[in-house]
Amino acid sequence: MTLEQTALPHPIHALDSFFYTSMGVYAFQSQCEMLAELGYNGITVSAWGGQPYTDLSLLPTVKARHGLDVAALYCVLHEGRNDALLRRILETVDGVELIELAVQTSRNGQAAILRSIASLLRVAERRGLRIALYPHFHHVTQTTTEVVQICAQFDHPQLGASFNGYHWYAAQEGELDQRLAAMQPWLMHAVLSGSAVSPLGWGQVATMEPPDRGELDNFAVVAALNRAGYTGSIGVLGWDYAGDVYAKLERSLQAMRGIDQRLGTASPDMLRLLSL
């Protein structure tokens, strides 16, 4: 029996980027109410370079008030610019256990980035947090290969990696099974979206769409995550969505639930085609 057939359905969370629209940003209370009503399991909250839209003091109330997990807090390191600010966030934030960390820029190069990560890890050790490095196209660490190299260098139990299907696709890394196998010892989190290669997309490379749209086959991606032994929550990336936020959230959740359901009943012959 395959991993796809034995795996339980993944919890599904939404990134708060769903709620950034051309008309403004939905209040955090509205975000949580919408996700809870639709049946999501959680939310990832973004602090960006240290200036979040959301009051982070609200995070410890989310589970009791809405029944949602705060799946992660997404932060962006600009080495040499916001190191101290990110350390303060990690020193004070409550209500979340996983920090997703993208490294966008650096003033002082790779050695300084490693020193910054080491400094954040010391805070994580004291506070019982985990840090998942986030491969992000057009950032300093933009591929899963680079993130795995950092994880292996530290070999620290509280440092791991997040897999983002969009950025893997946009960076054209390919070799999905091989990339996930390399990430497997470190894999803490996963985020997906639909996507199509297009100069109209983010960074003039690829679009970000609901998970059932575009050229990226998320049925195959979730199957590969299952083969890699990943059983955790899967986030849905909401950036660049237009129009009715509630409808896009509803459609995205239905698509992800449908993928899990189909993988649970797929024949071995069907799944054998999914070695990417």
pLDDT, one tens digit per residue, over 140-176 is: 999 999 999 999 999 999 999 999 999 999 999 999 9
Q: What is the CATH number of domain 3-272?
A: 3.20.20.150
Task: Mark the ranges of the chain whose per-residue pLDDT is less than 70.
Answer: 1-8, 267-276
Instruction: Classify the C-alpha dihedral 181-184-187-192 as positive or negative.
Output: positive
Q: What is the pLDDT of residues 92-120, one digit of tens each?
A: 999 999 999 999 999 999 999 999 999 99
Task: Report whether 198 contacts 170 (CB < 8 A).
Answer: no
Tell me if the pTM is above 0.85.
yes
Predicted local confidence at residue 202, as pLDDT: 74
Predicted local confidence at residue 8, as pLDDT: 66
d(CA 50, CA 29): 20
